[in-house]
Chains A and B, each alone.
Chain A
Amino acid sequence: MPEKLFKVHKEEYVMPGNRACSGCGLSLAYRYVLKALRENTILTIPASCLTVLHGLYPITSVGIPCLNCTFASTAASASGLVAGLAAMNRSDITVVAIAGDGGTFDIGIQALSGAAERGTDFIFVCYDNEGYMNTGTQRSSATPMGALTTTTPVLTKQQNKKDMMKIMEGHEIPYLATTSASFPIDLYDKFVKAKRIKGTRYIQIATPCPPGWVFPPKDTVKIGRLAVETGIVVLYEIENGKFRFTGRSKTLAEKGTRTPVIQFVERQGRFKKMSLEQLGQFQRSVDHKWNEYLRRAEA
Chain B
Amino acid sequence: MSDVQIMTGNQAAAHGVKLCKVQVISAYPITPSTPVTETISQWVERGELKAEYVRVESEHSVMTVCVAASTVGARTFTSTSSHGLLYMCEQLHWAAGSRLPIVLACVNRGVGAPWSIFNDQQDSISQRDTGWIQIYCRDNQEILDSLIQAYRIAEQVYCPVMVCYDGFVLSHTMMPVEIPDADRVGEFLPPYKPHTILSPEDPRNINPVIFPWQRRDAEGVLRDGYMDMRWKLQHALEGSRDVIVEVGREFAERFGRDHGGMLWNYKADDAEVLLVGMGSLATEATMAADLLRESGIRAGVVGIRVYRPFPRAEVREAFQKIPAIVVFEKDISYGYEGALCADIKAALYGTGIQTPLHNYIAGLGGRDVKANELAEAVRASLASIAGGNREQQTWLNCVTE
Contacts and interface: CB of A to CB of B under 8 A. Distances in A.
Interface of A: 39-42, 44, 51-52, 54-60, 62-70, 72-73, 75-81, 83-88, 90, 93, 110-111, 113-114, 117-118
- Residue among A40, A58, A110 with most chain B CB within 10 A: A58
A57 B211 contact: yes
Contacts of A87: 23-24, 51-52, 69, 74
A70 B94 contact: yes
A70 B64 contact: yes
Given A59-B217, A70-B94, A90-B199, A81 B64 contact: no
Contacts of B55: 118
A67 B207 contact: yes
A19 B208 CA distance: 13
Given A56-B208, A66-B206, A70-B91, A84 B69 contact: yes
B205 A68 contact: yes
B61 interface: yes
Interface string B50-76: 011011111011001111111111101
Q: Which 9 pairs between the two chains have the least Cβ-Cβ distance?
A: A80-B68, A84-B69, A114-B57, A76-B61, A80-B65, A76-B64, A84-B72, A60-B205, A87-B23
Contacts of B69: 80-81, 83-84, 87
A51 B209 contact: yes
A59 B218 contact: yes
Contacts of A111: 56-58, 60-61, 64
Given A86-B52, A88-B72, A90-B72, A80 B24 contact: yes
A56 B218 CA distance: 12
In this complex, the member of B51, B54, B58, B199 whose beta carbon has the largest number of chain A beta carbons within 10 angstroms is B54
Contacts, number: 167
6 contacts: A42-B72, A44-B68, A62-B205, A68-B207, A76-B68, A86-B52
Given A65-B204, A76-B64, A86-B52, A56 B72 contact: no
A83 B66 CA distance: 9
B74 A42 contact: no
B203 to A, nearest CB: 4
B198 interface: yes
B210 interface: yes
**Which of A54, A81, A83, A88 has most B Cβ within 10 Å?**
A83
B66 A65 contact: no
Given A40-B200, A70-B91, A76-B56, A81 B68 contact: yes
Given A70-B91, A88-B73, A118-B55, A79 B210 contact: no
Contacts of B217: 58-59
B195 interface: no
B200 A63 contact: no
A174 B23 CA distance: 28
A147 B218 CA distance: 42
B60 A83 contact: no
Given A70-B64, A81-B198, 11 more contacts: A42-B200, A56-B209, A73-B61, A73-B64, A77-B64, A81-B71, A84-B23, A84-B76, A110-B58, A111-B60, A114-B61
Contacts of B61: 73, 75-76, 79, 110-111, 114
